[in-house]
């Protein structure tokens, strides 16, 4: 492509060439492509050739009034050595998040370098592992009785949640069985009753380092939590499932408690489609943020759809007075998101303005394997969140919802 062949600069062509072909053609995640195209919109547009066009609110990054290559280079040398988050459209809190992640990575490396043998004095390494393993085993619940669950909640054409509940129990059972077996064998190996196999050694080493053993993580849901927090989270998840089994479907579903939340969301759409005898492909979500309701004061489910709680918001906060997204407060990295009513609707036309299509993920990494749906396995869904700002503003802010944090 030769720009000189055009009477005017083809900004749209340049954006498509860079965003969809040169870069976008190598990016498989649609959320990443959306961000790339949004950034290009800020840098490749007709306003750039204006006088001192600014790329950031503070004006620290702008198009200089330079006339030659030397002047441009001299201007570039005045930029800060460490770029400010604002030049990427991020909130100043992004610096804190970046520094935290680097610190955590450093601590994990230091932890991996500690000696594996006792240097004398205090509890031995084996004593520490045995105490931790015994505590986890004592709190680790028995697997669910699948036959009992299936009998109480049989497969029902008009109630897909019964199948969702049974599948959740099966997934949690696979994890609980591996945990209980490896803990039992590991405790025996520490006492010299059985041989310490490489697999058991890997489990005990992870317990000592307060990390989730790979044998457990391979059977578990995605999580970034250290072992101590991970166990507490698991117990909360099991309680959520047990309460569902004992008391019936809850009025508010704790989205963080699902092993596979996508199945729950599809099941909710399926219930609505079968109730109204329509194709599920014609059903979409209405997103209603109910910031006047809470998990505690909601006792009845909606007529259609479901109430969900348990989301965390990064990059922004919810303004309870204006009932919309607002800028994060300084040093407030994550905030609880209000209860939301996911309401099924037939042949719905999505709004063209006034909302931000906010991606929801399971963990803070936002990354996962590319699934057959074209989305990352870490991705849950897009949720429309009310806003009075442009969607591009929040895309640059990398605003997203999460079902779990690091601790």
96 & 33 share domain = no
| Cα–Cα distance measured from residue 250 to residue 220, given in angstroms and rounded to the nearest whole number | 23
pLDDT tens for residues 210-264?
999 999 999 999 999 999 999 999 999 999 999 999 999 999 999 999 999 999 9
What distance, in Å, lies between the first and last C-alpha atoms of the chain? 50
pLDDT at 114 (0 to 100)? 75
* 388 close to 353: Cβ distance less than 8 angstroms: no
71 & 100 share domain = no
291 & 404 share domain = yes
| Dmax (CA) of the chain | 83
Based on the structure, what is the number of domains in the chain? Answer: 3
Domain of 348, CATH number, reads 3.10.490.20
| Cα–Cα distance measured from residue 16 to residue 18, given in angstroms and rounded to the nearest whole number | 5
214 & 147 share domain = yes
255 & 297 share domain = yes
203 & 321 share domain = no
| Better-scored residue on pLDDT, 115 or 199 | 199
- The residue among 187, 217, 248 that closes a domain is 248
pLDDT tens for residues 376-398?
789 999 999 999 999 999 999 99
112 & 258 share domain = no
- The residue among 90, 107, 131 that closes a domain is 90
Domain of 70, CATH number, reads 1.10.8.720
| Long-range interactions of 367-372: CB distance < 8 A, separation 24+ | 368/222, 370/28, 370/29
269 & 244 share domain = no
* Tokens (6 digits) for 65: 């009034």
DSSP output for 107-142: HHHHHHTS-SS--SSSS-HHHHHHHHHHHHHHHSPP
| Cα–Cα distance measured from residue 295 to residue 306, given in angstroms and rounded to the nearest whole number | 12
| Cα–Cα distance measured from residue 91 to residue 399, given in angstroms and rounded to the nearest whole number | 10
- The residue among 220, 248, 276 that closes a domain is 248
Average pLDDT, integer, range 151-164: 95
111 & 61 share domain = no
Beta bridge partners of 317: 326
For residue 103, the enclosing domain spans: 91-116+123-248
Q: Is the pLDDT of residue 374 over 70?
A: no
Q: Is the pLDDT of residue 5 over 80?
A: no
169 & 75 share domain = no
Q: What is the DSSP-derived secondary structure letter of residue 18?
A: I
Domain of 235, CATH number, reads 1.20.1270
| Cα–Cα distance measured from residue 11 to residue 8, given in angstroms and rounded to the nearest whole number | 9
Q: Is the pLDDT of residue 82 over 70?
A: yes
| Cα–Cα distance measured from residue 342 to residue 4, given in angstroms and rounded to the nearest whole number | 51
196 & 299 share domain = no
220 & 270 share domain = no
């Amino acid at each position: 492509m030769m720009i000189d062949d055009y009477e005017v600069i083809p900004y749209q062509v340049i954006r498509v060439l860079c965003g969809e072909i040169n870069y976008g053609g190598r990016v498989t995640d649609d959320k990443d492509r959306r961000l790339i195209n949004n950034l290009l919109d800020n840098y490749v547009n007709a306003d750039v050739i204006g006088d001192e066009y600014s790329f950031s609110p503070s004006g620290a990054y702008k198009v200089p009034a330079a006339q030659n290559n030397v002047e441009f280079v001299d201007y570039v040398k005045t930029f800060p050595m460490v770029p400010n988050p604002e030049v990427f459209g991020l909130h100043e809190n992004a610096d804190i998040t970046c520094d935290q992640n680097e610190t955590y990575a450093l601590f994990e490396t230091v932890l991996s370098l500690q000696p594996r043998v006792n240097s004398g004095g205090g509890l031995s390494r084996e004593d520490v592992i045995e105490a931790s393993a015994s505590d986890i085993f004592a709190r680790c619940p028995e697997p669910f009785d699948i036959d009992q669950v299936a009998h109480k909640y049989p497969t029902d054409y008009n109630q897909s949640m019964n199948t969702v509940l049974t599948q959740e129990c099966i997934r949690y059972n696979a994890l609980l069985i591996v945990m209980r077996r490896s803990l039992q064998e590991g405790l025996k190996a520490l006492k010299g009753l059985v041989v310490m196999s490489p697999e058991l050694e890997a489990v005990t080493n992870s317990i000592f380092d307060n990390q989730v053993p790979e044998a457990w993580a391979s059977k578990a849901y995605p999580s970034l939590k250290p072992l101590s927090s991970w166990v507490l989270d698991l117990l909360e998840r099991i309680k959520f499932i047990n309460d569902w089994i004992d008391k019936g479907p809850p009025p508010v579903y704790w989205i963080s408690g699902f092993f596979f939340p996508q199945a729950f969301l599809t099941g909710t759409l399926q219930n609505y489609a079968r109730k109204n005898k329509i194709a599920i492909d014609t059903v979409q979500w209405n997103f209603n943020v109910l910031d006047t309701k809470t998990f505690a004061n909601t006792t009845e489910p909606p007529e259609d759809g479901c109430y969900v709680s348990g989301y965390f918001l990064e990059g922004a906060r919810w303004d309870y007075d204006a009932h919309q997204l607002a800028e994060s407060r300084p040093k407030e990295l994550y905030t609880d998101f209000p209860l939301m009513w996911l309401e099924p609707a037939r042949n719905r036309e999505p709004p063209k303005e006034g909302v931000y299509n906010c991606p929801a993920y399971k963990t803070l990494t936002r990354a996962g394997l590319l699934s057959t749906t074209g989305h990352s396995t870490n991705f849950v869904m897009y949720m429309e969140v009310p806003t009075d700002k442009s969607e591009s503003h929040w895309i640059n802010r990398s605003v997203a919802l999460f079902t779990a944090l690091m601790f």
